Amino acid sequence: MKLFTGPLRRHDLRLLVTGSTVSLVGDGIYSIAMAVAVLHVAGTASALAAMAVINLVPRVAFGLLGGVLADRVSRRALLAVCDVVRLAVVGCLGLLLVSGTPPLWALLVLVAPLGAASGAAAPVFSAILSDLVEPDELVAANGLLSSVSPLAAMVVGPVLGGVLAAYDVGLALFVDAASFGVSALCVLLLRPMVVHDRGPRPLPWAHFREGLGYVRRTPWLATNLLAGLVITFTVSGTMTMLPFLVSRGYHAPAATFGYLLAVGGVAATLAAIVVSSRRPPRRPLAASYTTYALGLGSIAGLGLAPNLAVAAVCVAVFFVGATVGNVFQDSVLGSRVPRELRGRVSSLDWVAATAASPLSVVVAALAADHVGIRPTYVVAGLAAALASLAGLALLLHTGEPGAEDDASADVEAKAGAEAEAGVEAEAGVAAAVSESEVSQPA
Model confidence at 218: pLDDT above 50? yes
Q: What pLDDT is recorded for position 194?
A: 61
Model confidence at 406: pLDDT above 50? no
User: What pLDDT band is residue 398 in, cutting at 50, 70 and 90?
Assistant: confident
Q: What pLDDT is recorded for position 225?
A: 84
Q: What pLDDT is recorded for position 216?
A: 82
For the ranges 92-106, 231-245, 337-351, the one whose mean pLDDT is highest: 92-106
Select the more confidently predicted residue: 117 or 416.
Answer: 117
Select the more confidently predicted residue: 335 or 415.
Answer: 335
Mean pLDDT of 378-386: 94
User: What pLDDT band is residue 439 in, cutting at 50, 70 and 90?
Assistant: very low
Model confidence at 404: pLDDT above 70? no
- Mean per-residue pLDDT over the chain, rounded: 79
Select the more confidently predicted residue: 48 or 227.
Answer: 227
User: What pLDDT band is residue 203 in, cutting at 50, 70 and 90?
Assistant: low
Mean pLDDT of 174-202: 80
Q: What pLDDT is recorded for position 101?
A: 79
User: What pLDDT band is residue 49 in, cutting at 50, 70 and 90?
Assistant: low
Model confidence at 247: pLDDT above 60? yes
Between 98-112, 296-310, 355-369, 376-390, the lowest mean confidence (pLDDT) is in: 355-369
C-alpha to C-alpha distance for 351 and 212, rounded to whole angstroms? 12
- Measured in whole angstroms, the distance separating CA 414 from the mean position of its chain's CA atoms is 28
**pTM of the shown model:** 0.66
Between 67-81, 135-149, 216-230, the lowest mean confidence (pLDDT) is in: 135-149
Counting residues of the chain whose pLDDT is more than 70, the rounded percentage is 82
C-alpha to C-alpha distance for 72 and 68, rounded to whole angstroms? 7
Mean pLDDT of 114-141: 82
- Is the distance from CB of 373 to CB of 96 less than 8 angstroms? no
User: What pLDDT band is residue 409 in, cutting at 50, 70 and 90?
Assistant: very low
Q: What pLDDT is recorded for position 5?
A: 52
User: What pLDDT band is residue 300 in, cutting at 50, 70 and 90?
Assistant: very high
Q: What pLDDT is recorded for position 211?
A: 76
